[in-house]
Each structure stands twice: as C-alpha cells, then as structure tokens.
Amino acid sequence: GAGVSQSPSNKVTEKGKDVELRCDPISGHTALYWYRQSLGQGLEFLIYFQGNSAPDKSGLPSDRFSAERTGGSVSTLTIQRTQQEDSAVYLCASRTSSGPGEQYFGPGTRLTVT
Amino acid sequence: GQNIDQPTEMTATEGAIVQINCTYQTSGFNGLFWYQQHAGEAPTFLSYNVLDGLEEKGRFSSFLSRSKGYSYLLLKELQMKDSASYLCAVYTNAGKSTFGDGTTLTVKP
C-alpha cells in the first residue's frame, strides 16, 4: 500500500519568503508527527497531531512555524519569513492510534534557505 | 523534559557483534524504539520495547531496563549494509516521541 508522501522533495527559497510543506500520511493513521533534521543531527520534534485532539506544539522553535491538519489526514507545515537556520530536512511520520506503535516516515522535504 | 543519550560514533568489523547503548530520562514513559537511518534516507523502524527484557528480531535484538532508564540495540553478524545511523526514541503516554541524536555505525571489512 501507499506509504507516507511529502511534497515538495526539495525546496529552495530566499530568506524572508514563506514556505509550505505538505504531508500525506498513510490512510487510517490518526497520529501525525513533524520533525526537523539538520545535517548530521538527530530528529528534532516539532509538532504532533492525534485525531481531533489539540496538537502538541511544544517543539515548534518560533512563532514563524505553524502546522495544521485538515480532515484528520493531510498536514501542512508553514514557515513564515524563512531564515537560513531553517535549512534542514523536514520529515513527517504517521502511525496508527493504538500506541505505542512504530512511526512510518515520509521521504522528507529538503529545505534550503539562501 | 526528556533527555536521551547515545554514543555519537561506533566502528565494528564485518561479521562481528556490536551493542549500541541508549540512556534516557523521561516522565510518562510508554516505550522505547530503535530506528535505522541510512545517509540521505528516512528512518525505518527496527524494534521497540515496552516492558523490561530482550526482544529479538533476526540479527537485531533490543533490551530495555525501565528502572535504569537504559536500552541497547544488539546487531549480530554485521554486514556492510548495516553501516547507518541508529536512532533511539522514547515514546510517552501523551503520544509524543523524542529522538536521540543517533549513533553512526561504520562497518569495516
């Protein structure tokens, strides 16, 4: 079956521009996570959605970052007024609601801010 | 908050056994996961432990001691393709997961 998909796979943007990153989770997965990974580093938790509950936004690094999940499926991570330090790979993962359960990762979006 | 520690790098020889340790401090612990990540790729699930003890899965085994906040991943009969980063992740009962910085394993002939 289809796995987690993310788009775009690569994004180059100028400093100060806004970007939107999209994640399509596996169908039926109610939990969705966004992570950020800088080169050679581990995964930095950004935000977690579970069903209709309020998302856990505790990992968002600043108010320039926001995310939403429409209809309990597709999620969009928005970064406003991008900065060079936002350059990283942004990974999305989903899992079933019955936890703990393994997370299935998408291929990521490589964001480069010039 | 959560704190996860694992060694930054390890090197081992093809055919050997290697143990990657992970220590953690967290509240609301609800499981520990190990993921493998090859360079330029997304992480893939290897194993998880919820209860104390050893979980075996082919060449890979993972151990957990909740009282000590300690886990290890054991890789047997190492192959060159096992060269990758190994990520320890702690899952809480609130559903949040926190990853360690990963251990880069290099397997040499």
**Tell me: the pLDDT tens digits for A8-21?**
999 999 999 999 99
Nearest chain A CA: its distance from B85 CA (Å): 9
CA A1 to chain B, closest CA, distance in angstroms equals: 16
Question: B57, exposed or middle or buried, with CB in 10 Å at 0-12, 13-18, 19+?
Answer: exposed
Q: What is the DSSP string of B68-95?
A: TTEEEEEE-S--GGG-EEEEEEEEETTS
* pLDDT mean across residues, chain B: 94
Structure confidence at residue A72 as a pLDDT band (50, 70, 90): confident
Rounded CA separation A113/A9 (Å): 14
Residue A100: pLDDT over 90: no
Q: Do A100 and B99 touch (CB under 8 A)?
A: no
**A50: chain B residues, CB-CB within 8 Å:** 95
Residue B70's pLDDT is 96
